[in-house]
Structure 1
Amino acid sequence: MLTQEKKAFIEFMMGADVLRFGSFVTKSGRNTPYFVNTGNYKTGLQSSKLGEFYAAAIHDAIGGEFDAMFGPAYKGIPLATAAAGALARNYGIDKPFFFNRKEVKDHGEGGAIVGYKPVDGDRVIIIEDVITAGTAIRETMPILTGCADVQVRDMFISVNRCEVGATPGKTAVMEVGEAFGIRVHALVTVQDIYEYLKQQGGYDEVLPAMARYMEQYCIFE
């Protein structure tokens, strides 16, 4: 269901040129008529507002029932930072956050982790941008389990593309749930975006392309 909150987030993404329409190639190699690039958030106000959207989703889904937030390099870093700030500011939930380096630092404090250092038993949530084929989460989990014996039960993303993963008949989100026991919470889905464009009008070229793409690659629960 397309709520006012979802409409606001879609308009926010479009206003920041993060949600774009045209012809793009995803990390999974698929040609897609729409693309979400959170790297296009580039102002303080955008970062603050983005953090508020994520913080609201976290608060509504799990409250403060976690110990730390992880933002995978690179795009997850500003997302986790913004979300942590908004959680503390808006809800009084002050939690540590951390992220990884792509290259391990061999001087100074060293290591591949920056920020909070997880300990055994920590409940860690992941803050990411999108899930397309589930490739990124499979790269992320070994990083987290290599830090400590942590529990990862929840992941928050901007957009669920609802696309089939490596297993026919299952989306990447379903696979993540089955493989790692992670619940994925999306601020919006591709269905929400499609419905929003239909309601707005003026997207006569985009809608048929999205419909074809969704029919070919998407699975809706």
Structure 2
Amino acid sequence: MRRLAFIVAAAVLVSMAPWAASAQTAETRRLQASLPAGAITSPPIGWVQFCAENAAECRMRFARAREVQLTPAAFAQIARVNIQVNREIEQVSDLDHFGVEEYWTYPVDGKGDCEDLVLEKKRRLVIMGFPREALLITVVRDHNGEGHAVLTVVTNRGDYVLDNFTNEMKLWHGTGYRFIKRQAQTDPNQWVSLNGGGSEPAQVAMPRR
């Protein structure tokens, strides 16, 4: 247990390095940028299925969007959840796990794919007190051009990504992914297009104040 705690602590420190550096560089405003959202679009079919089976998770609405105030302590907490879920959940495909191509659910049996890990990370962060409307399930194209799900954390320092492919918590434009769509902040059932947003710095919007 002590060894695992050391490994998690070390990974959190590595993940925090770019966050700390960005506060001291001349490019802070760019690195703190938020992912630009577009028009309303259709939700993933897996989300529709998840809501049919977990109605209470999907009926919430919020009067306004909120963001996480990303203090060093908050950053460390979020990064730790990313690492813990990545380590605790055996990553298997829905086809191997359930015998179907797509099925979103909490990984209660200790197994799951990218969407299931995203749901679990969001669940744990909400329990810890982070605002649900700042924790957005997001669909991207990964480095191989394949569909992938990550959790975007909307913060006052930019939009960070929690990913089952890495224990490092990165700003969205540091992932190399193409961002397709994600949940709207005020309604989890409403999804917004990200206009196929790439991760090039030139496409980064100015941060919210």
Query: TM-score interval w.r.t. the shorter chain?
Result: under 0.3
TM-score with structure 2 length normalisation? Answer: 0.26
Higher Rg:
1
TM-score with structure 1 length normalisation? Answer: 0.25
